[in-house]
Structure 1
Amino acid sequence: MDDILTDNIVDLVEEIELELDTGTYMGRPFAIIGWNGAKVMQEAAELIAEPSNLSALPNIVNKAWRGAMALHREYLANTAAAELKETTSTKPRSRKMRLDDAVGSYVIKCPTIVGDWPEYGPVFHLEIKDRPGREGDDGLLSAKMNFGIVEGTMLLSFSKETLNMTSKATRLDAVDQLSRITVAEIPEYHIPSTANDERKDIAIEERVAESRKRSAPASRSKSNGSSPPHKKAKLNTRQVMRGRRRLYFIWRGTEKEDELSVESKGYLDFNDTCTGFKGVTWLDFAAFDRDAGLEDCTFQGFKYETMKPRSVKEETRKVRLSDSDEETAASDLDFNGSESDLEEIPASCLINFQLHHGA
């Protein structure tokens, strides 16, 4: 392991008073951090003892996804509570999808990539935001994507024509080339729940139910046999999706193994609340060009934050290591850095820093 990289990681861990142990798993360097030093050392020893044993992979995947989905469930609970305060209706209002409904941070599940490159970790990320200085006025959103083996940037729009103007190499046809894979064919993702997860879900449901109870009397008192006055809605000048909630995209990035420049396309189909989506793209670099041709890549996204995280949070969740090429070393799990969230961090967790530095 690179001594400079190790020193940077050690300095960061010491700064936030965590325990650290490192080693090699499946040919890749890894680091395990946590509050419990004995637990950290135990899990590191287990990985080092059988570095080529893939039987441990499902447990690692499930553990990582339990942490990621906890962020998603908490986001859903907070969103539901906020909506109850803003409306007197007991039923969610259905409306067309606006472009900015897609803005937010998502954890990504992609079995195709995890199956072929487990060393990059099971949890990937997509950060969708407005293009700086444009704020959607051109019908485009931008995104930073990290899908393990590949990372790069993405442009998204309701309009294929708008996206086609941004690229000469990649074109979105009038008829979806990827439409042979329907979102119904992408399996729903479920992980085994633990007793602790169930207790958290119950607590979230109770909190939302309590918010509903508090808002109900106010609703009845305003009625008095007549409908309460509605606030006049502001005119939304942002693009609106009519029909299905589909965003098309073109992405450009780098394949990390051979440092190949790659470009592809696809689409995201959002759910009714725009808190999740199912997506399809093509991974068209050499590693995927197998006997059957280019491989279709399906994935799912789960929103855990609406606004872009503050820089201080970014520093607590990701380790940025300065180098000539400004290589970024990212963790498999994201944690909010506030003191109130410390009890949610497990005793130890696997952090994939992707330290294939210089390889």
Structure 2
Amino acid sequence: MSARTPQNKNRPQSQEERPPEERLVFAEHIKYMRKQHRKPIPKEWGFWRATGSYVIECEAVTGPLSDYYDNEKLTMDISETVKEGCWFFDADFNFGVIEGTMLMEMTPSLLDDVMKAHRKADGGDTAEEGDNDSDDDGWEEDEDPERYEMQQEKRRLKEEERRKAYIDQSDHGLERYPRRIYFQWRGRDMRDATPLIQPDWDNEHVGYLEFEDNKCNIFEGRAELGVIGSNAEFRGYKVDKEPRKNAEPWNDLSEKIYELEWREKVARDRRPPLRASIMGMERPW
């Protein structure tokens, strides 16, 4: 034991062990807050105040996934966007091992409206997500249009159930959680030399942000984050009132694009088939 003592004493402290003022994730936030401390807290909540740039603290990334994490700054940049007549918020996020885009809204039902608008903009494919449903029997539209439409409706219903499954675990009323923002994300797994979209076959990439007060300078988040973990927790600290990055278009991170990218990767690597999908290519599991 005594032989190990000097090594422990000289071991540099991890970011989580250091006082807040010495942690890298706080340095830029503290600088920003010094400019804001005299501003009064708004009496009413405004979603638009959530826009801006944040640094993220997520122990699930800096701990268990440290082998894949090169100590770059984790970030989230929230922007206000209008598309197809739908007003909403999106975010570019970099969580080290995952990078991508979030769509955000005040309630799950409003988030569903945003999702529908994006599916419409992507060509009206309302069954885009969850198209690998276990009940799929391989029927195509030109084989039996009526049966095909019944399958699509079944998928749409299951899609709504899956999206809300995580959020519905708690009461999400505006009165109880007036500063909560719900989101769904799409992103790429950055651990591979050729980052690929992490497909959301079961439509479970959802979560929420809970802001500390009406200034929207600090939030706590919880989400299903794929390779990072289920029900993962993270915190965000504002460093700029304006977003520093724009989110990658949502439809550029779809399961359809993933299938094309994976097909190209398989062709390059010439890997043996793992599991056939409905499009006749392989999935990495």
Q: CA RMSD in A?
A: 3.5
* Distance 1:93-1:126 versus aligned 2 partners, 3 A rule: closer
Partner of 1:338: none
Aligned partners of 1:247, 1:256: CA distance in 2, in Å?
26
**Equivalent-residue separation in structure 1 for 2:86 and 2:22 (angstroms):** 36
The residue aligned with 2:54 is 106
> 1:1-359 counterparts in 2 under 5 A?
56=12, 58=14, 62=18, 66-81=23-38, 83=39, 92-118=40-66, 119-121=69-71, 123-131=73-81, 138-165=86-113, 166=115, 168-169=129-130, 171=160, 172-173=163-164, 176-177=167-168, 179=170, 243-244=176-177, 245-258=179-192, 259-263=196-200, 264-272=205-213, 273-284=215-226, 287=227, 295-309=230-244
The whole-number CA distance in structure 1 between the counterparts of 2:58 and 2:207 is: 14
CA shift in 2, pair 1:62/1:146, >3 Å = farther
Separation (CA, whole Å) in 1 of partners of 2:94 and 2:190: 11
Paired residue total: 181
- How many Å apart are 1:163 and its aligned residue? 1.7
1:236 counterpart residue number: none
Q: CA deviation at 1:133?
A: 6.6
Note the C-alpha offset of 1:253: 0.4
TM-score by length of 1: 0.43
Instruction: Give 5+ residue unaligned stretches, structure 2.
Output: 1-10, 117-128, 131-158, 247-260, 262-285
1:70 Cα offset (Å): 2.0
Cα 1:178–1:120 shift into 2, 3 Å: farther
Give the counterpart letter for 1:77 in structure 2. Answer: R
Distance 2:27 2:245 in 1: 20
Q: 1:58 to 1:67 in 2, by over 3 A?
A: closer
Unaligned runs of 5+ in 1: 1-54, 84-91, 183-240, 289-293, 312-324, 326-359
SS of aligned partner of 2:164: coil
- Report the AA paired with residue 182 of structure 2: Y
TM-score (norm 2): 0.54
Paired letter, 2:208: Y
User: Are 1:283 and 1:297, in contact at CA under 8 Å, matched by a contact in 2?
Assistant: yes
Structure 2 CA distance for aligned equivalents of residues 129 and 114 of structure 1: 26
Closer, same or farther in 2 for the Cα pair 1:150/1:271, shift >3 Å? same
Bigger Rg over Cα: 1
Distance in 2 (CA, whole Å) between partners of 1:144 and 1:126 is 6
Whole-Å separation in 1 of the counterparts to 2:17 and 2:104: 29
